[in-house]
Structure formats: structure tokens, C-alpha cells
Amino acid sequence: MSIRFEGRVAIVTGAGGGLGREHALALAARGAKVVVNDLSAAGRVVAEIRAAGGEAIASNASVTDFDAVQAMVAQAVQAWGRVDILVNNAGILRDKTFAKMDLADFRLVLDVHLMGSVHCTKAVWDLMREQKYGRIIMTTSSTGLYGNFGQTNYAAAKLALVGFMQTLALEGEKYGIRVNSIAPTAHTQMTDGLMPAEVLARLAPAAVTPAVLYLASEEAPTRAILCAGAGTFERAYVTLTQGAHIGTGPDTPERIAEQIAAISDRTGDMVPGAGSAQGENEIRKAGGVA
């Protein structure tokens, strides 16, 4: 099997450098027509793609500006008639401990990562529904999945994108739209100084891009959280344990404390197909019919 993108049109946000640049170059090298979105450096990446024989156009739209994002999508449609792939990659950091963090910095990170992805996805959603095809990729993070000291704003935004993905995938399934998340570990401008030099050398952004190409392909799954770094690929899941039925008596808090090990036991844990699975499990454990 060879993953190719001839006839496909892709938008990659935050593609002026780092991960986004690698994603845009690789999509173009495999035949996609690419909208390179970046506030300042989109033109340089477009020039690289064209010099290699590919097709690309630049967009300087801010993902925080929905009107500008809509104009970017209209630009793609005017040039090539469709949009098949959206890689929501644009992001920023404003790292501080929560005690020291200004709420404006918390909100700004949410606006770029979460609302930026919402804006871009909303702008292509009806188009993808009409053409009965779409591949949308969110950029989540191990920080969102598992936490990281000093990054409450970034973590909140990145885990929110997973929830966004989970429901979008359900809503898009009958329209041929598959929605997934990439959790990259890579050395970019945003990670300068955060890790030792010898570690950063292994974490080239290009090592993440193969996972993005797979998630952008016709063969992509949906609702996957694919992790990638240094040539290693993992998959993360949001799981639910079988739990234990304890009841609702006056001593239930104490009984929860006594049985927390059983409640937490991961034997037979599941990956729910939808949020309703939690309630169904709870009713079933209580002796009802779900």
C-alpha cells in the first residue's frame, strides 16, 4: 500500500515552521495541493513546495479570527474546488505555574489551540459533509493527556481537543469524515530549552509527520489518538473500568473509600463507543437493563 494524495486538497495551520512545515512539505511531496497557513512564514514554505514541483498557496489568516479562516477556506475552494484534509496544528505556549499565570495568558492559549481548531473545522465542516469525504486532525499533547508542570492552560486546551474529536467523529461518520488526533513529541521553537540537547536531537519534527500522513489518508481510522516521536508510535485511549456497584446509602462515601481498589481495577476495562456507555454500565451494575 502506498499512501498518496493526488487530487486531494489539504490545509495545514501553523505551517511556517516546525511540525506544520514538515506536514505541509510531506503532503505536497505525496501529491496533495496544500494551503500553507502561518501568520508570517507561509510564503517561504509555499516557495519550497513549488520549487520541489508541488502546488501550494499561502494564507496568513489567524486561526483566532473566524472570518479570516472562512476566507482561507474560500481561497482553497476557489483555487482547487474542494478541501479534503485539515491539519489543525497552530499553537502557542504561555508557560507558568497556575499560581503565577495571568488569566489573559490562559485564555489566549485556549483561543489559539482550541478555538483556532474549532474555527478551522467549522469552516470546512459543511463542505466535507457535502462532498462526503474529509480527514481532520487535531494536535493534542501528552501534556493534555497526562499533565505537565507549569502548563495548565496548554493542558486544558489540548485535552479539550480530544473531546472535540470524539464527538466530531461520531457526527461525521455517515458523511465519510474521519477525525483523529496526533500527540507529537518534537523539538520545535516552542520546546527550545525544555529538554537536553542530546534528547532534542532525536526529536526532529519530521519524525512525527508519518503519523499525520496516515491519519490524513483514505485508510485512516476515526477517533484515534496517535502518539509519535523519535520514530516511535503509540496509541492512547480514554478507558473506563468495569467499576463496582456500591449503592446509594448514607455510608456510600466510606464504602467508596474501602473499595477504591476494586473501582480502579483495570481488568476488563473498555474504550467506550460513546459517552452513553458509562451510564449503561452503571445501570447494568445496579441490576437494571441498559
CB atoms within 10 A of CB 221: 13
Give, in order, the Cα–Cα distances in Å from 178 to each of 97, 214, 221: 36, 12, 7
Question: Grid coordinates representing 189?
Answer: 521553537
Q: Provide the residue-wise pLDDT of the chain in tens; the chain has 290 residues.
A: 899 999 999 999 999 999 999 999 999 999 999 999 999 999 999 999 999 999 999 999 999 999 999 999 999 999 999 999 999 999 999 999 999 999 999 999 999 999 999 999 999 999 999 999 999 999 999 999 999 999 999 999 999 999 999 999 999 999 999 999 999 999 866 666 666 777 778 899 999 999 999 999 999 999 999 999 999 999 999 999 999 999 999 999 999 999 999 999 999 999 999 999 999 999 999 997 65
CA distance 207 to 177: 26
The alpha carbon of residue 61 and the mean position of all alpha carbons in its chain are separated, in whole angstroms, by: 19
> What is the Cα–Cα distance from 175 to 131, expressed in whole angstroms?
8
Q: Give, as one character, the DSSP assignment of residue 64.
A: T
pLDDT at 199: 77
Q: CA–CA separation, 155 vs 146, rounded Å?
A: 8
Active site residues per annotation:
154
Torsion of CA 98, 99, 100, 102, to 10 degrees: 60
The pLDDT, as a whole number, for residue 138 is 99
Contact 63, 119 (CB under 8 A): yes
Distance separating the N- and C-terminal Cα atoms of the chain: 42
User: How many whole angstroms from its chain centre is CA 257?
Assistant: 36
> In this predicted structure, what is the pLDDT of residue 189?
65
Q: Cell numbers 492512547 label which residue? A: 236
Cβ contact 279:286 at 8 Å: no
pLDDT at 187: 82
Alpha helices in the chain (DSSP H): 18-29, 42-51, 66-80, 103-109, 116-131, 142-146, 152-172, 197-200, 209-215, 252-258, 260-264, 276-285
